């Protein structure tokens, strides 16, 4: 028996007890009335004797029936309330269990996707190669005495970034600017073959083997300015490399030679 059943049945029992007590009080009043009439010498008939007794008996029966009916009503009502409460609790438990199962199923997939993103971020690496070309050696000067060089007299350099042989190249980004320029590297990005004053990169990059485990990604840069030096930078982005390296020097070579620059490991 739960708490609700105990309270309702107690209330029904109290109500029934009150009805019985009221019936007994009515019986006592009727009995006193009859005693007083007898004391006054009023003759008592069978009808007068049976009247109060019959009325009180009916009252007692009615009280018992009403008390029993009230008790059953409260019991059934408490049973319905308890059943509804149990049903609601079971529904909430079922929803909580379903939510927990969904979270358990979603947790491995979220972990896998985040791990995949982290692996991709770790796999994408950069190699940066930087060099500076000084003013060219002019063979002739302009009318005002300023030294000038032709493009055939340009100084040339080959910038190469070393990457694993199995790496996949995802991007090659080129930067060039005059040495005294206040621009940042981000603002100095150029396209292959684009003139930057009196300097430019070649139109295409190329690859060649460096060793059994590495290869070189290269591009050429030339400058034919007789007064200003130029800085050039090659950034190679690739997949499947454990580290990021920076090379801050390159070799100036004649046009007939090629010098490969690779980041030290």
Q: What is the pLDDT of residues 108-131, one digit of tens each?
A: 655 555 555 555 455 578 899 999
Q: Are residues 101 and 191 in the same domain?
A: no
Confirm whether 258 is domain-assigned. no
Helix (H, G, I), strand (E, B) or coil at 54: helix
Confirm whether 255 is domain-assigned. no
Mean pLDDT of 17-43: 71
Summarize pLDDT for 143-165 with one digit per residue, the tens. Answer: 555 667 888 888 899 999 999 99
Please give the span between the terminal C-alpha atoms of the chain, in angstroms, as a whole number. Answer: 80
> What is the reported pTM?
0.47
What percent of the chain shows pLDDT beyond 90?
25
Domain boundary among 59, 86, 120: 120
Closest CA relative to residue 163, chosen from 94, 262, 85, 21: 262
Indicate the range of 159-173, 180-194, 231-245 predicted with least confidence: 231-245
Q: Is the pLDDT of residue 7 over 80?
A: no
Confidence (pLDDT) at 111: 53
Q: Are residues 90 and 12 in the same domain?
A: yes
Confirm whether 107 is domain-assigned. yes
Q: Are residues 222 and 132 in the same domain?
A: yes
Domain boundary among 63, 94, 120: 120
Closest CA relative to residue 155, chosen from 246, 257, 233: 257
Q: Are residues 25 and 103 in the same domain?
A: yes
Number of structural domains in the chain: 2
Mean pLDDT of 46-75: 68
Cβ pair 245, 236 in contact under 8 A: no
214-223/155-164 β-pairing? antiparallel
Provide the residue range defining the domain that includes 154. 125-247
């Amino acid at each position: 028996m739960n708490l609700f059943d105990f309270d309702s049945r107690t209330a029904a029992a109290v109500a029934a007890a009150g009805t019985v007590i009221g019936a007994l009080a009515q019986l006592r009043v009727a009995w006193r009335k009859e005693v007083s009439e007898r004391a006054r010498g009023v003759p008592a008939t069978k009808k007068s004797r049976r009247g109060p007794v019959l009325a009180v008996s009916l009252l007692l029966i009615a009280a018992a029936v009403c008390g029993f009916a009230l008790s059953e009503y409260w019991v059934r009502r408490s049973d319905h309330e308890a059943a509804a409460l149990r049903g609601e609790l079971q529904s909430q438990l079922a929803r909580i269990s379903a939510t927990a199962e969904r979270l358990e199923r979603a947790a491995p997939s979220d972990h896998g996707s985040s791990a995949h993103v982290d692996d991709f971020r770790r796999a994408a690496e950069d190699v940066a190669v930087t060099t500076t070309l000084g003013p060219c050696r002019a063979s002739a000067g302009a009318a005002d005495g300023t030294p000038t060089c032709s493009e055939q007299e340009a100084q040339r350099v080959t910038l190469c970034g070393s990457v694993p042989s199995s790496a996949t190249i995802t991007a090659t980004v080129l930067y060039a600017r005059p040495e005294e320029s206040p621009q940042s590297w981000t603002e100095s990005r150029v396209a292959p073959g684009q003139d930057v004053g009196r300097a430019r990169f070649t139109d295409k990059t190329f690859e060649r083997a460096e060793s059994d485990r590495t290869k070189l990604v290269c591009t050429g840069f030339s400058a034919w300015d007789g007064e200003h030096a130029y800085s050039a930078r090659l950034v190679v982005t690739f997949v499947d490399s454990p580290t990021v390296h920076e090379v801050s020097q390159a070799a100036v070579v004649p046009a007939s030679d090629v010098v490969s620059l690779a980041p030290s490991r």
